[in-house]
């Protein structure tokens, strides 16, 4: 399973992305971004919000809601 994390910085208005290869990696990356970088897990496309997408085989990427992300990590 592969996940993509995307967020836009309020400091410089730049869009950043990161990939997680599995659920454990996703959890570690989200914890770092929330606890160290001060970002929020949120569905909205706003500054400092993390949007998570899940790779669906041969179809593309599915954007997950905050509840779906939390469910994926548990």
Task: Encode the chain (74 residues) as per-residue pLDDT tens digits.
Answer: 699 999 988 888 899 999 999 999 999 999 999 999 889 887 677 778 899 999 998 889 998 988 999 888 87
Backbone angles phi, psi at 63, to 5 degrees: -75, 130
Please give the helix or strand (H or E) that residue 4 lies within, else none: strand 3-8
Q: What is the pTM of this model?
A: 0.83
Query: What does the pLDDT read at residue 47?
Result: 78
Residue 9, pLDDT score: 86
CA–CA dist 48, 39 (Å, integer): 5
């Amino acid at each position: 399973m592969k996940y993509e994390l995307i967020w836009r910085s309020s400091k410089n208005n730049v869009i950043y992305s990161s990939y997680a290869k599995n659920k454990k990696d996703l959890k570690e990356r989200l914890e770092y971004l929330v606890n160290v970088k001060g970002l929020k897990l949120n569905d909205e496309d706003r500054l400092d919000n993390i949007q998570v997408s899940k790779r669906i085989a041969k179809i593309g990427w599915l954007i997950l809601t905050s509840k779906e992300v939390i469910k994926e990590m548990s």
